[in-house]
Amino acid sequence: MSALLVFLGGGVGALSRYGIGRLFPSEGVGEGAFPWATFLANLLACIILGVALSLVARDQLPRGGQLLLVTGFCGGFSTFSTFAAELVGLLQAGHASVALLYLGASLFSGLVSIVAVVYLSSPAAG
């Protein structure tokens, strides 16, 4: 059953990632375009992960939900490999400033979003 939950969540996550890629095509990385699709997918995955971690901390997300949402959906939705490939592509194409912006914005927004969601959803914040 655990594998099925991960499989289902991962499939929905991958399809969601595909949808964001269709809404925000990233074909312009070689021309120095900011990779919005990957950035948004990873940011949203961090927000979802923050919510899930908060629910787990309050014992409000059972193990099956964790497998479905965290391991499955977030695993299929977020994409470190594409992030790394786009970053390298920007650097190879001579767009170091966009690459550094992408790197900094991705790391900062991902970390801040998880911290903010966990903090704002904690009982002490309410």
Coil, helix or strand at residue 106: helix
pTM of the entire predicted model:
0.90
**Of 7, 2, 121, nearest in space to 75 by CA:** 7
Give me the pLDDT at residue 125, please.
65
Name which of 61-70, 86-95, 102-111, 114-123 the model is least confident about.
114-123
Q: List Cα–Cα distances, 16 to 40, 57, 78, 117, in angstroms.
A: 11, 26, 10, 21
47 confidence band (pLDDT: 50, 70, 90): very high
Q: Could you give the CA distance from residue 31 to residue 10 in angstroms, rounded to a whole number? A: 31
Give 24-42 pLDDT, tens digit per residue: 987 777 888 999 999 999 9
Give me the pLDDT at residue 4, please.
98
66 confidence band (pLDDT: 50, 70, 90): very high
